Structure 1
């Protein structure tokens, strides 16, 4: 079985766990591959490339059975971008703080790899959001796991985002910005702006305004087979659009259309994982603050 390790940087304190991960994978007869960025991180800390490992580029991922994201949730999002339409199942090893998407704690590495070898896992399909434009955008990486966001630049005045669902006028949002989040992304930026939580298997998007001027505007949930289009106005000539952690400046000449991507992100979940447990433990959902 072929296993790809990907990371975009980790601290020196995590090196023993990286070494443990590689040794454990090889002890189960997995063939271990490194992405170029992961290999560079090892070299940065003067760690020699482990025996029987291979460094591969992003164009050489066909045939990989599983990808292991070593880092926080940001690294997992980067792994999704790297894999794209190949739909290689991803295991998230958490070296960060929250680890809402990267759910395997470093202390549970050996158990996770053993469960992987024994087939004691499930694979969740997570919806991706896709943005189309009449002009090149985000270097062609037009999909994201969490959300698509339109936002004003810096300290400029609020913007107006005219929004349409399947060609029908929905609303004009006078706000700092607008978020369209997937169920996975509903626990992120959208949640902090007052959006609802959506369970991963739901077939919906949530549209959430950022600091709206008209206070009677609230988030709305729409089917994920909807086609959502936007027209943007504002005093500034430029606006920011982002997919997960990737952002770029655009102007009003960009015609933006959002839909569900034709492929999905596959996340490996072990039997100890529970979505609602994660909500309670990592977001303190339902926690009684009086105690």
Structure 2
């Protein structure tokens, strides 16, 4: 079994989780462990030493059987840029805060690893968004996909922007707002939710369009099928605007036309058998925690 480990930062909680994982894997036969070089550099900055029992890899390939992400949901979003279309399953150990994607708590690492090695888990396939721009932009030559959302927003102004929106070449509306979010079901519990969007179960074949602080109060989130091609054109007082793919941000000029559609590949997230999206949703959003219930 060939396992890669990734993290965005290295702090006390990350180190504790990493030690548990490395010690566990050391006890297993025929297991090769690799730290992604980006994570290893973070460790080296803090510890000045390399972790025991792990080699370093810069680029993943299809020979890997598993990627362990140590951090929060943002770490998993970064991890998918290493996995891309390789179909490597990902499991998230949560050393961050909320954790909709990274659901394994540090105290449950050993039971979770036991479940993985005994194949007592399920795979949750997550669709992604892909972006194209005209004219083409260098920032999206390779990493042109997002697991959570693609968002356009104002840049160097406090004035609102207008986002002309077309669905399958048919005009929908022009949102007068701070920006617009196109979210996957996975991302529906993220930025879109904060802007009033609905929660969508991960297995739903849909996307949601959510305006950011719209001036027209009649503007509401819109759920569409994930086979829809979305075209955006931004106008505003400034010449440029921002576009973000999860946490990756680029500046585009107002003459850019953005096309968003479902990516040609999906991401595989490992879920333990006792876990479910509804259970995670109830726990993370504290549904039913009102003492009157």
Which residue does 1:151 correspond to in 2? Answer: 153
- Given that residues 12 and 45 in structure 1 are in contact (C-alpha distance below 8 angstroms), is that contact kept between their aligned partners in structure 2? no
Give 1:48 shift: 4.1
- SS state of the match for residue 84, structure 2? helix
Which residue does 1:5 correspond to in 2? Answer: 5
Query: Is 1:166 matched up with 2:168?
Result: yes
Give 1:47 shift: 6.6
Which residue does 1:243 correspond to in 2? Answer: 245
Distance 2:38 2:13 in 1: 18
TM-score of the superposition, structure 2-length normalised?
A: 0.94
Distance 1:287 1:52 in 2: 43
Q: Residue 6 and residue 149 in structure 1: after superposition, are their counterparts in 2 closer, same or farther (change >3 A)?
A: same
- Given that residues 5 and 34 in structure 1 are in contact (C-alpha distance below 8 angstroms), is that contact kept between their aligned partners in structure 2? yes
Distance 2:138 2:186 in 1: 23
* RMSD (CA atoms): 1.6
Structure 1 segments (4+ residues) deviating >6 Å: none
Q: Please list every run of 5 or more consecutive structure 1 residues that lacks an aligned counterpart in the other structure.
A: none
Deviation per CA, 1:131-185: give whole Å up to 9, x if none: 1112124353110000000101144310111101100111110111000000000
Give 1:46 shift: 2.3
Give 1:38 shift: 1.9
TM-score of the superposition, structure 1-length normalised?
A: 0.95
Give 1:185-264 correspondences, 5 Å limit: 185-264=187-266
Query: Is 1:107 matched up with 2:107?
Result: yes
Deviation per CA, 1:232-265: give whole Å up to 9, x if none: 1111111010010011111122121000000001
Give 1:17 shift: 2.5
Count of residues in correspondence between the two structures: 290
Give 1:85 shift: 1.1
- Given that residues 205 and 222 in structure 1 are in contact (C-alpha distance below 8 angstroms), is that contact kept between their aligned partners in structure 2? yes
- Given that residues 143 and 261 in structure 1 are in contact (C-alpha distance below 8 angstroms), is that contact kept between their aligned partners in structure 2? yes
